[in-house]
Amino acid sequence: MLQHYVLDDRFDPVPCPDLLVWARWFETANRVLAKDQDEGRDGTHIEVSTVFLGLDHNFSGTGPPVLWETLVFGGPLDGEGGRYTTKAAALQGHQAYCAKVRAAIGGR
């Protein structure tokens, strides 16, 4: 069964057992932890975005919930990303993908 989570005032995940409460929250909540933009050599718009997923994406049934995701949109790393179990790991992963993007477009 899927576990649902919302974010508290400090952007920390809190379990939410009521599906309707979760759905109302999810509909309007700001779930963006970090977002950076760059431009490729050819003018291509590149974005690195890290968001709170709201659902546990750890489908193995063991270990901590996977609640955060970083994705790259555009450029040579389009579609690459990672998922994380903590906000701190998500922020670190976000910065790592930003560095990968900079390296891929010539270190600007």
Distance of alpha carbon 15 from alpha carbon 73, whole angstroms = 29
pLDDT tens column, 36-91: 998 877 788 999 999 999 999 998 888 999 999 999 999 999 999 999 999 999 99
Beta-carbon-side half-sphere exposure of residue 82 (alpha carbons within 13 Å): 15
Nearby residues of 103 by Cβ (< 8 Å), 6 or more positions away: none
Q: Nearest to residue 6, comparing CAs of 48, 67, 59?
A: 67
**How does DSSP classify residue 62?**
S
The domain locations on the chain are 31-104
Tell me: pLDDT of 27 over 70: yes
Q: Nearest to residue 80, comparing CAs of 44, 49, 37, 43?
A: 49
Looking at residue 60, its pLDDT comes to 85
